[in-house]
Chains A and B, each alone.
Chain A
Amino acid sequence: MRSLGKYFIFMRSLITRRETFRTYIKLITQECINVGYNSLFIVGIVSVFMGAVTTIQTAFNLVSPFIPDYVISLVVRDMAILELSPTIIAIIFAGKVGSSIAGELGTMRITEQIDALEVMGINSSSYLVLPKVVACVIMYPMLVILSIFLILLGGYLAGTITGILSSVDYLYGIRYEFIEFNITFAVIKALVFSFLISSISSYKGFFTTGGSLEVGQASTSAVTNSCIAVLLADYALAQLLMG
């Protein structure tokens, strides 16, 4: 409970006593490359394979002459948009970006780089953390959208190459009774998750004390806590927006 309070105070410190707008633009651009561009590869690989596996497994579970083939790709589509892309990729994002944020800030803390910023009169939390949070919130929804496409692509490849369903059926299925709101829902989830992951990881890293051992621990606990927060938020959002 105390750390929750400290977390909120930390969040407030991000938006008080800021640097100039120009400074932030530069920092945010840099962070966008770090968190977005550098995550493309892992997100891409995971998405394509998730698409392929989901398609094959769904087909395997739907062996009935009464269910038309296009239902397979329809299921894949809805799973991708509602859960696989925003949530599962969030877990991977937490592992990659969350741990690196916590590690970087933790190292800066124990090597007194954060103190050095403070002595120069910079609001170190805002200077270091705000660009990371903003960059994550900008980039993660884009990664999610990309991931949805790649899952559908992976599913298409797996489906057609193994002959589970025809390309016509697949394309019919992914367009069948498409609900636009689901995309909005995915983006909302992405915004919330990326904020949680980046802010929790920053918090964990920023308040590291001790040595390199503690930096490792901060990294680990950043990932664990982010994942738990993401799953809780996932549940809450599902209740709120779907129920």
Chain B
Amino acid sequence: MIKIKNISKSFKGKQVLFDISGTLLKGKNNLIIGSSGTGKSVLLKNIVGLITPDQGDVKYNERSFIHGSEQDRKQIRREIGMLFQGGALFDSKNIEENVKFPLDILTDFSEEEKIDRVNFCLERVGLVNINKKMPSEISGGMKKRVGIARAIVNKPNYLFCDEPNSGLDPQTGIKIDNLIKEITSEYLITTVIVTHDMNSVIEMGDHIMFLLQGKKLWEGSNEEITKSDLKELNDFVFATQLMKQIYLR
């Protein structure tokens, strides 16, 4: 479980996040949603420690990530896996080396154990026989899947995904969503997903935080989200005709 406590952040005098608090649940898909430019990515980066907040704290199972000891931070980092928007695979390494990388730096497994684990994870995301390919030789959807394999290779307790299905066709997007969903419940991971895809929200949103212009306006489940009477949330949720037709009859 992750607790976000009163996080604020500004860049060069422009405040991006305003006093955000919330809870991210274990074994669930926690979604951070909101329109473009509202600070979702910045919030995610604050949670994983890529950006230090001006105020507030993030607690991983009661261990403070922002104010904790270097020892704690290091341990928490080992428990984090992250999928970046474009996959963020290392260009100079092949697929196998990419997925193996966290094991190389965080564990002292033997080479054989590492390769076994890598192959297991690649198989888990549905990719076989591409171990020796370079990132530039595979498609965007495959890169995302390799990204997921790399994120889960060291058995994380926390998985973070920034827009896992953006830039993909709906079918591939759903496959990625399902994959994340399965992995989350299979290994009881605390998964945090930034998205603005309503389909993902309905399909996998166990717990949802809605941001608007740097403020958290709403928090709840995917069953509650279509029933809320918060105007800003409704504007976001029912932006498409399809959503209106399905839920607002």
Report whether A113 and B89 are in contact in the complex, using a CB–CB cutoff of 8 Å: yes
The answer, among A19, A113, A115, A118, for a CB contact under 8 Å with B91, is: A113
Interface size, B (range): 20 to 34
Interface residues of B in 72-125 (CB under 8 A from A): 73-74, 77-78, 80, 82, 84-86, 88-91, 101-102, 105-106
Q: Could you mark each residue 107-122 of chain A with 1 if its beta carbon is under 8 Å from any beta carbon of chain B, else 0?
A: 1100111011011111
Query: Is B212 interfacial (CB 8 A cutoff)?
Result: no
Cα–Cα distance between A111 and B73 once the two chains are bound (Å): 25
Q: B246 interface residue, CB < 8 Å from A?
A: no
The residues of B that contact A111 with a CB separation of less than 8 Å are 86, 88, 91
Contact of B77 among A112, A113, A116, A121 (CB under 8 A): A121
What sequence of 0s and 1s flags, for each residue 21-48 of chain B, a beta carbon within 8 Å of any chain A beta carbon? 0000000000000000000000001001
How far is B82's CA from A120's CA once the two chains are assembled, in angstroms?
9
User: How far is A116 from B86 in the complex, measured between Cα atoms in Å?
Assistant: 11
CB pair A107–B80 under 8 Å, yes or no, is no
B49 lies within 8 A of chain A by Cβ:
yes
Q: Which residue of B lies closest to A17 (CB)?
A: B70
> How many Å from the CB of B140 to the closest CB on chain A?
12
Contact: A120 with B77, CB < 8 Å?
A: yes
Q: How far is the CA of A122 from the CA of B84 in the complex (A)?
A: 16
- Does B50 lie at the interface of the complex (its beta carbon under 8 Å from any beta carbon of A)? yes
Q: Indicate if the CB atoms of B50 and A113 lie closer than 8 Å.
A: no
Report if A116-B78 is in contact (Cβ < 8 Å); known contacts: A19-B105, A107-B91: no
Known: A120-B77, A121-B74, A121-B77. A115 touches B86 (CB 8 A): no
Query: A119 contacts B90, CB within 8 Å?
Result: no
Q: Inside 8 A of A112's CB, which chain B residues have their CB?
A: 84-86, 88
Question: Is A119 in contact with B48, judged by CB distance below 8 angstroms?
Answer: yes
- Per-residue CB contact flags for chain B residues 159-172 toward chain A (1 = under 8 Å, else 0) read 00000000000000
> Which residues 128-173 of B sit at the A interface, judged by CB distance below 8 A?
none
Interface membership of chain B positions 196-222, coded 1 if the CB is closer than 8 angstroms to chain A and 0 otherwise: 000000000000000000000000000
Contact residue among A19, A113, A118, A121 (Cβ-Cβ distance under 8 Å from B90): A113
Q: Residue of B at shortest CB range from A122?
A: B105
Q: How far is the CB of B88 from chain A (nearest CB, A)?
A: 4
Once the chains bind, are B88 and A113 in contact (CB under 8 Å)?
Answer: yes
CB proximity to B under 8 Å, residues A106-142:
107-108, 111-113, 115-116, 118-122
The answer on a CB contact under 8 Å between B82 and A116 is yes
Chain B residue nearest in CB terms to A116: B88
With a cutoff of 8 Å between Cβ atoms, the chain A residues found around residue B91 in the complex are 107-108, 111, 113
Whether the pair B50, A120 counts as a contact (CB closer than 8 A) is: no
Chain B residue numbers with a CB within 8 Å of A23 are 105
Q: Could you tell me if A119 and B74 are in contact, using CB atoms closer than 8 angstroms?
A: no
* Cβ-defined contact, B78 with A115, below 8 A: no
Whether A120 and B88, one on each chain, are in contact in the complex, defined by CB atoms closer than 8 angstroms, is no
Which of chain A's residues have a CB closer than 8 A to the CB of B88?
A: 111-113, 115-116
Task: Determine the chain B residues whose CB is within 8 A of the CB of A121 once the complex forms.
Answer: 73-74, 77-78, 105-106
With a CB–CB cut-off of 8 A, which chain B residues contact A108? 90-91
Specify the chain B residue showing the minimal Cβ separation from A114. Answer: B88
Residues B78 and A119 in contact, CB atoms below 8 Å apart? no
**A113, B98: Cα distance in complex, Å:** 11
Give the interface of B toward A (CB within 8 A): 45, 48-50, 73-74, 77-78, 80, 82, 84-86, 88-91, 101-102, 105-106
Interface, chain A (partner B; CB < 8 A): 19, 23, 107-108, 111-113, 115-116, 118-122
| A-B CB proximity, top 8 nearest | A121-B77, A112-B88, A116-B88, A112-B84, A119-B82, A113-B88, A115-B50, A119-B48
Q: A112-B88, A113-B91, A119-B50 are in contact. List 16 more A-B contacts (CB 8 A).
A: A19-B105, A23-B105, A108-B90, A113-B88, A113-B89, A115-B45, A116-B82, A116-B88, A116-B90, A118-B50, A119-B48, A120-B77, A120-B106, A121-B78, A121-B105, A122-B105
Can you list 9 contacts pairing A with B, beta carbon distance less than 8 Å?
Answer: A108-B90, A112-B86, A115-B45, A116-B88, A118-B49, A119-B50, A119-B77, A120-B77, A120-B105
